[in-house]
Amino acid sequence: MTTGLRERKKLRTRRELGTAALDLAVRHGLAEVTVEQIAEAAEVSPRTFFNYFSSKEEAVVAAGVERARDLADRLAARPADEPVMTSLRVVVRESLGETAPPKEWVAQVRLVRANPALLPHQLAAHAQIEHSLRVVLAERTGLAPDDLHPALTAAAVMAAIRVATDRWLGSDEHDDLGDVIDEALDLLTTGLRHPSRAP
Amino acid sequence: MTTGLRERKKLRTRRELGTAALDLAVRHGLAEVTVEQIAEAAEVSPRTFFNYFSSKEEAVVAAGVERARDLADRLAARPADEPVMTSLRVVVRESLGETAPPKEWVAQVRLVRANPALLPHQLAAHAQIEHSLRVVLAERTGLAPDDLHPALTAAAVMAAIRVATDRWLGSDEHDDLGDVIDEALDLLTTGLRHPSRAP
DNA sequence: GCTGAACTTGCAGTATGTGTAGATTTGCAG
DNA sequence: CTGCAAATCTACACATACTGCAAGTTCAGC
């Protein structure tokens, strides 16, 4: 089952467009970048750009989606008898990178922070990832794919990652992101109980 | 502290534009509606529309934001010694309406379901509400406004509402929405533990 | 009433996004 | 290898979305 040339080429173009969009936006500011420039950087016609993405915002964020799709893949690869939350902690750690978070990803989340116009599309991207997670979780637990439990678990975990990342960015990336996320996941597993203010 | 005429007028225009956008989109389909039509329906120039919203999608979703802002207001009005989750359950029930969910709101979420292009903006709107909730929760618990706990609680609750609503829409609005949301909140407070499959 | 600030508006110009039709490339069977 | 069918890319045309600017117009406070 070798993926045909056609398919590979398409994927390559998509990636090309995504990274070009991100690169240009980081370098010159989102507002200064036009679709024409992105298309040119990816060596493709402007019309073709719109065959892949419906806006430059979507393209900028697309790279992140692909990165995060591997979260679901990794999750599916964990042993089925491992507690779900354990699996989730492991895969999140894994995809955060051994040493530091991938700098492409950091550039992206920083860009979103600086450009509120990107937020809607960032959140939509998260929703896609959330959906992938939900599907895997449903298989894993043997529940229906539209059951409340896998859906909410996926949503809550994505929320934890989002909130933790935001906090991490806000604190000038001083803490270890993995630790912050773990803390957030702890809160989830303890039912969001009010933490004692004197530990 | 009577709000000046100016301010009231502005709010009125904003509301006018939002409801006009929603109305037209429901009636004719989102794609068929132009900003010009929305502006005309609100008796305002197209240029003015863009002084309020940066796209028609944002306008369509704005009505929902305002409705949901009252969630935070209601929450702030609950007694401070009531357990947070209890307060949340109460205010969600309250704002769902005594008998049935407000039909304007239902129309809106249905529209988003039918038009994926609206999803990003819907999620951004949720993020705004989430922020309001977070602020109130922080005050309530006496924690810093950027603390992980209020932030994650707000995010998780919004996620619960979103997932529950989606499920409710998917099941042809047969169940009681309030019950579905309660179920989702239960999952949150029990730490998302895997529900026993034989109750 | 007068004055400054806030809001609205028209206009001009650029960028976004889509339908269509024809060229180009790829997959595949003969 | 050849040629056909389907997928993809591209150019062109066009409507709509959005923004900056320089007026008008309306409101708040003195």
Q: A185 in a domain, yes or no?
A: yes
Determine whether A196 is exposed, middle or buried from the number of CB atoms within 10 Å of its CB (0-12, 13-18, 19+). exposed
pLDDT tens for A146-170 read: 999 999 999 999 999 999 999 999 9
**Nucleotide of closest approach to A48 (CA, C1'):** D9
B101 neighbors B177 (Cβ within 8 angstroms): yes
Tokens of A180: 């912050």
Rounded alpha-carbon distances, angstroms, from residue A110 to A17, A115, A162, A176, B87: 19, 9, 13, 16, 35
* Range(s) of the domain holding residue B153: 56-189
Of A102, A157, A103, A96, residue with least CA distance to A129: A157
Q: B150 in a domain, yes or no?
A: yes
Q: A194 in a domain, yes or no?
A: no
pLDDT tens for A4-49 read: 767 889 999 999 999 999 999 999 999 999 999 999 999 999 999 9
How far apart are the C-alpha atoms of B156 and A116, rounded to whole Å? 22
Q: Which amino acid is located at B14 in the chain?
A: R
Q: Which residue has the tokens 């173009």?
A: A13
Query: Backbone phi, then psi, for A14, in 5-degree steps?
Result: -60, -45
B92 neighbors B71 (Cβ within 8 angstroms): yes
**Strand, coil or helix: what is A119?**
helix
Q: A66 in a domain, yes or no?
A: yes
pLDDT at A66: 86
| Residues 132-171 of B, Cβ under 7 A from nucleic strand C | none
Q: B144 in a domain, yes or no?
A: yes
A50 neighbors A114 (Cβ within 8 angstroms): no
Of B152, B125, B155, B150, residue with least CA distance to B135: B150
Tokens of B151: 């932030």
Domain count along chain B: 1
Residue A58 C-alpha, separation from nearest chain B C-alpha, in angstroms = 10
Q: Which of B123, B142, B159 sits opposite A152 (nearest CB)?
A: B159
A164 touches chain B (CB under 8 A): yes
pLDDT tens for B105-137 read: 999 999 999 999 999 999 999 999 999 999 999
pLDDT tens for B39-54 read: 999 999 999 999 999 9
Q: B122 in a domain, yes or no?
A: yes
Q: A109 in a domain, yes or no?
A: yes
pLDDT at A68: 84
CATH of the domain at B109: 1.10.357.10
Of A35, A162, A149, residue with least CA distance to A109: A162
Rounded alpha-carbon distances, angstroms, from residue A75 to A145, B61, B183: 16, 34, 26
Buried b (16+ CB within 10 A) or exposed e, B104-123: ebbebbebbeebeebbbbbb
Contact B192 A166 (CB under 8 A): no
pLDDT at B63 exceeding the cut of 90:
no
Q: B65 in a domain, yes or no?
A: yes
Q: Please check whether strand C approaches the CB of A55 to within 7 Å.
A: yes
Which of B122, B192, B197 should one mutate to test binding to chain A, selecting the residue with the greatest count of A CBs within 10 A? B192
pLDDT at B167 exceeding the cut of 50:
yes
Which of B113, B163, B172 should one mutate to test binding to chain A, selecting the residue with the greatest count of A CBs within 10 A? B163
Q: Please check whether strand C approaches the CB of B48 to within 7 Å.
A: yes
- Confidence band for B98, pLDDT divided at 50, 70 and 90: confident
pLDDT at A198 exceeding the cut of 50:
no
Cα-Cα-Cα-Cα torsion B158, B162, B163, B164, nearest 10 degrees, comes to: 100
